[in-house]
């Protein structure tokens, strides 16, 4: 059969076991023909585990398809195939361990499917692919190549990547550490040059002054640029286009023609920086309970209430605000609408904007361990008047705010995966270089099996996450992949912490010193599992719920 063929069969058996477990959960969580959130919460542990295992399966599948394409092109096929085989073996091992360890949680059918994985030749293929010698061989090839794998981009995409990589190397990295350590705002020169490069128009159609085709979206461009800027610095450049992406998607989905013409060209040209105000002090992912209100008044709407974790709100001229326009809390998310709030830009960690009529908007930057450069603010609106045309969609947009912000956040989650890939790549490159320079007992630490194992796994996981991200970007181009966008964000965010942790560990004591970039990568990576949808909410309310609903349909 061969190891690759054996692993393909093992992956099919492992996925079958996961599907049986999902069908079991579908039966346990069903109520009145639907998945009950209350019942789902009774089985959170099993649901969370299955969400990640399915994410791991998706990432593995995309890595294997990437290796297959390279084999067809006769480019790096052997290296990528070896990496994909090892990833497959780890994924099967994880599924087998998790599901067999708690058969009562996943049901008898899943347990029976898992038993198949313990039989030869499937078990032999998994064991062979996880042999330490294979990680050593991967590490030797990584040392020879000087990188962790082929990206698989088109010529045009590679040119874009090279252009923004040069920018990140020459303009972003030189200011990244100082900005982080001293908690400065992003230099205006970075914003100006990225504006000239068209960075802020990547998600905006050409008819509105952007760079995206009017006929078909191109999310790959956004993903490639985001990854390379994040490789330079998450806080200085990697997140600059996320907020414009979110607002642009919301406007394109539900904005009036006048609103699109007013704001999109200014955003595309970088003339208006954007922030997003959704989270509240008592309500994060649970947007249905949000209380920040918008009430009708002479000349428009009055905003009252608080928002928190509003990144870049000081510098931004536009803030996308999700507010309650229907005071009836029983309406939940159906009582929310989106507004575009215009304000002057401010520097520093605190700002206050007062209106002639007495309205007030105040912001205070929240101190954070990482992700510095943009500053995340707590905002307070007090009788802050916004005009009628600030309501996205006008009267037709009333009560549709939740859906419009979700349209934007889907792209934001895909971007978060790209940001995680960039930070991981930077951490991996630093770890690889240090492992070749640092000597202990008279030998470079890269000569030792444990370091080789770490670096091989880092390269493997990054490449799997990257190819998964690329695949979801292509789905977005076809108007699909909303759930997959959440899944890849969940996967990339989770593994980013491990990759950056191991890069830091390879540096030993120096990894704990601020003078080495890996310490910054580690604290920056910590934010991925929190913003753009907390890990637990994404896993349970989005990924697991969708998977369980699909399992229920298949069983019907």
Angle between the N-to-C axes of helices 3-29 and 122-129, in degrees from 0 to 180, rounded to the nearest 10: 110
Helix (H), strand (E) at residue 64: helix 44-73
CA atoms of 65 and 194, how far apart (whole Å): 34
Answer for the pair 488, 465: CB distance below 8 angstroms, yes or no: yes
DSSP labels, 352-411: EEE-TTS-EEEEEEEP-SS--SS-EEEEEEEEEEEEGGGBTTGGGGTT-HHHHHHHHHHH
CA angle 173, 238, 208 (to 5 degrees): 125
**How many CB atoms neighbour CB 10 within 10 A?**
26
Burial of 344 (0-12, 13-18, 19+ CB in 10 A): exposed
Identify the CA nearest to 128 among candidates 94, 82, 97. Answer: 82
Q: Please confirm, yes or no, whether 347 is among the known catalytic residues.
A: no
3-state secondary structure 414-457: HHHHHHHHHHHHHHHHHHHHHHHHCEECCEEHHHCHHHHHHHHH
Catalytic residue among 407, 532, 536, 549: 532
3-state class (DSSP) for residue 219:
helix
Radius of gyration of the CA atoms of the chain, in A: 24
Enzyme catalytic residues = 532
């Amino acid at each position: 059969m061969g190891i690759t063929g054996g692993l393909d069969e093992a992956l099919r058996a492992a996925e079958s076991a996961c599907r049986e477990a999902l069908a079991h959960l579908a039966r346990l969580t069903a109520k009145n023909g639907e998945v009950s959130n209350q019942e789902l919460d009774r089985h959170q542990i099993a649901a969370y585990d299955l969400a990640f295992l399915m994410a791991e399966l998706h990432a593995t599948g995309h890595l294997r398809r990437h290796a297959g394409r390279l084999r067809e092109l006769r480019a790096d096929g052997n290296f990528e195939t070896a990496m994909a085989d090892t990833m497959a073996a780890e994924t099967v091992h994880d599924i087998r361990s998790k599901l067999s360890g708690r058969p009562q949680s996943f049901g008898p059918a899943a347990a029976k499917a898992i038993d198949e994985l313990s039989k030869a030749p499937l078990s032999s293929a998994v064991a062979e692919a996880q042999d330490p010698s294979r990680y050593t061989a991967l590490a030797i090839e990584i040392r020879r190549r000087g990188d962790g794998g082929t990206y698989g981009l088109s010529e045009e995409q590679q040119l874009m990547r090279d252009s923004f990589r040069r920018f990140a190397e020459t303009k972003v990295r030189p200011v990244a550490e100082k900005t982080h350590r001293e908690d400065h705002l992003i230099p205006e020169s970075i914003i100006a040059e990225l504006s000239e490069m068209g960075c802020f128009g990547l998600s905006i159609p050409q008819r509105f002054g952007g760079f995206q085709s009017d006929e078909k979206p191109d999310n790959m461009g956004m993903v490639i640029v985001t990854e390379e800027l994040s490789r330079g610095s998450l806080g200085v450049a990697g997140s600059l286009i996320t907020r414009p992406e979110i607002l642009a998607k919301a406007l394109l989905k539900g904005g009036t023609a006048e609103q699109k013409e007013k704001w999109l060209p200014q955003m595309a040209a970088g003339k208006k920086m954007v922030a997003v105000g959704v989270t509240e002090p008592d309500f994060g992912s649970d947007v249905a309970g949000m209380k920040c209100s918008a009430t009708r008044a002479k000349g428009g709407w009055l905003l009252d209430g608080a928002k928190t974790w509003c990144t870049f709100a000081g510098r931004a001229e536009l803030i996308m605000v999700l507010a309650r326009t229907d005071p009836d809390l029983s309406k939940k998310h159906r009582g929310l609408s989106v507004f575009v709030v215009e304000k002057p830009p401010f520097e520093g960690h605190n700002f206050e904007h007062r209106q002639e009529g007495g309205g007030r908007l105040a912001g205070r930057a929240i101190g954070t361990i990482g992700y510095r450069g943009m500053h995340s603010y707590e905002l307070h609106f007090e009788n802050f008047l916004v005009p009628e045309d600030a309501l996205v969609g006008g009267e037709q947009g009333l009560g549709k705010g939740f859906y419009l912000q979700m349209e934007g956040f889907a792209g934001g989650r895909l971007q978060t995966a790209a940001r995680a890939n960039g930070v991981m790549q930077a951490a991996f490159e630093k770890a690889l270089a240090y492992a070749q320079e640092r000597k202990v007992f008279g030998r470079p630490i890269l000569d030792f099996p444990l370091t080789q194992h770490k670096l091989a796994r880092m390269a493997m996981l990054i490449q799997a996450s990257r190819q998964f991200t690329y695949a979801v970007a292509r789905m977005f181009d076809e108007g699909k992949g909303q759930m997959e966008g959440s899944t890849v964000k969940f996967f990339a965010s989770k593994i980013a912490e491990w990759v950056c942790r191991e890069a830091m560990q390879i540096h030993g004591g120096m990894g704990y010193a601020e003078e080495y970039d890996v310490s910054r990568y580690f604290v920056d990576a910590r934010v991925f599992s929190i913003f753009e949808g907390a890990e637990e909410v994404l896993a349970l309310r989005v990924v697991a719920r969708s998977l369980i609903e699909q399992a229920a349909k298949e069983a019907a």
